[in-house]
A and B are shown apart, each in its own frame.
Chain A
Amino acid sequence: MSTGQVSATKGALQRLREQIKFTEKSKDVLKMKRDQLAGEINRLLHEIQRRKEIEKMFSEAYESVKYAYAVEGYDEVSSIANAADLLEVRANPVSVMNVLMPEVEVVRRGGSKQIPSITLFVTTEKLIKAIEEAINLAIVEAKIEQLAKELMETNRKVNALEKVIMPRYISQAKYIEDRLIEEDLEEFSATKHVRDIIRERRE
């Protein structure tokens, strides 16, 4: 593994050791974040199992809508729908663990109560329930998508620290250590050699 251009000094070794310690800690923190994200995704995955149930609610509501249209006709349904307030929602994204999570607040529930026909009142109730559930499901799915993106990024960071950065720092530290030992040995043998020459001259 390439060690790059590093100055083999005790100061550089000290700095590298500190960096290794810091990187180790960062890796642990990122691993904790990864586990948290995975846990959250697992929890949310459980919630999206309701999709089938919601699809069934929608198909029942659509059957009711078709029935209402066929029985009342388009003109009457449009007129009755005119009496109802529209469903109003507000999107409030919230940042959790630095991940922008979508949150949708139902400001106005839509006006099934105002519908002046029992046929369309029941139909609208079914449809509004299905839409509210679909909004909740969409929020969960969007959260999973955001969390999964963040999980992948965190995983990449952990892998990069584990497989690239840490080994590089370690090998650089080893290289510096080796060089320093080598230098020490060189210095030791040079000193020894000088000492021997001095000793010979004295004799």
Chain B
Amino acid sequence: MNPSLIYLVTRTHGLHTHLLTEENYRNVLKTKDLNSLVQYLLRTDYGPETSKISSESINSMKLGQVFYSVLMSRVYHLIRLAPRDFRDFLFLYAERYEMENVKRILRSKRTGNQIGTDMLLPIPREFAIINFSAMIEASTLQNSLEILKATRYSMIIEKTSLLQKYGIQTLLEGALDKIYFKDLEKSLNNIPDNRKVGIIVGTEVDLRNIGLMIDLRARDVDPETVLSISFKPFRLRDEDVNQIARAKPSMVPDILMKTPYQRFASRLKSTFEEGKVERIEQVINSEIYSKAVSVAREFPNDFAYIVGYLQIAEMEAKNLISIATGMELALEEEKIRSMLYL
């Protein structure tokens, strides 16, 4: 085994111990309000950041920003630790957060709404490849997109015609994801013994692809356009993707029954049957998370463990956001628990 990988995996095992355990979640869910939640989190990685918020001004929005800021520091800390052979892949993996910022800026540019840098994920300057401030300052969506010209996302500019034709922002965001996942898959080739990491990345590519196609079909986008935006499948066959792009969203689970995603298909089917279409994204995230956990458990000494850790850390941030927001909205404990990726 590559000694630099041994080092990185060992450090990641150490970082993994900082993540919240099931018992932590149980205790967090028992806290009666946001102040008690903050008190509980003081003993965790979130402590230094949450302690900066005065008890009078605690709200789920501020806490959400703290959770994402801790996630960013975890992700980029790992990239800093990574030896050169693995850093490029991890750096590309972390570009998803830059893409999230790009999406946030483009959304506001389309409607002309104001957006500040405080609404963006705090990506360390040394790792940022996109000039977010320039994108924010650009007067139009087109001008904002021009800033991406010098990046690998330059092809997105061609997709603005689709946005004009359909008025659907998802087309633009899907096109960004397509470029991102294509490059991520490509960079897998530079990782030695990439099969296990491929399971995590591939599952995410396929499931996000399915989610994107369902989303676009639900908005009556024609199958050809859906296909042009869809990603290159990983474990799905081209034929499956072709069928999904042409099917009604409620028929997608039946198509997936014949693919390696049967468990996901049955969960998706019950979501449609219960009429809870808004939960599709949660079902997708939950499947991606389960895959990351199982791969990390199965291969604790592999690079896949590191990618699994990054996925789990992201889900932890999402879980804490759900807990804080759920508490603020006075949702019952059981309801909040049902939204968590555990």
A residues near B, CB below 8 A?
64, 66-75, 78-80, 82-85, 111, 113-123
* Cβ–Cβ contact B107 & A66, under 8 A: no
* Cβ–Cβ contact A116 & B219, under 8 A: no
Q: Give the docked Cα–Cα distance between A193 and B331 (Å).
A: 106
* Cβ–Cβ contact B281 & A119, under 8 A: yes
Interface of A, helix, strand, loop or mixed by DSSP: helix
* Cβ–Cβ contact B110 & A83, under 8 A: yes
Q: Give the docked Cα–Cα distance between A84 and B108 (Å).
A: 9
> Contacts A64-B278, A75-B119 given: A83-B211 contact, CB under 8 Å?
no
| 18 A-B pairs in the complex with CB atoms less than 8 angstroms apart | A67-B339, A68-B278, A70-B325, A70-B329, A70-B331, A70-B339, A71-B318, A73-B64, A73-B318, A74-B60, A75-B65, A83-B107, A83-B111, A114-B167, A115-B169, A116-B170, A119-B282, A121-B218
Picked from A67, A82, A117, A121, the residue with its CB within 8 Å of the CB of B113 is A82
Picked from A69, A72, A121, the residue with its CB within 8 Å of the CB of B215 is A121
With a CB–CB cut-off of 8 A, which chain A residues contact B336? Answer: 70
With a CB–CB cut-off of 8 A, which chain B residues contact A117? Answer: 170, 215, 281
Contact with A along B104-148 (1 / 0, CB 8 A): 101110110101000100000000000000000000000000000
* Cβ–Cβ contact A82 & B111, under 8 A: yes
> Contacts A70-B336, A73-B60, A74-B60 given: A118-B278 contact, CB under 8 Å?
yes
B12 interface residue per 8 A CB criterion: no
Picked from B65, B107, B339, the residue with its CB within 8 Å of the CB of A82 is B107
Apart from the given pairs A70-B325, A115-B169, 17 other A-B contacts in the complex at a CB distance below 8 Å: A66-B329, A70-B336, A71-B339, A75-B65, A79-B103, A79-B104, A82-B111, A82-B115, A83-B111, A113-B167, A113-B219, A114-B168, A116-B173, A119-B279, A121-B215, A122-B218, A123-B278
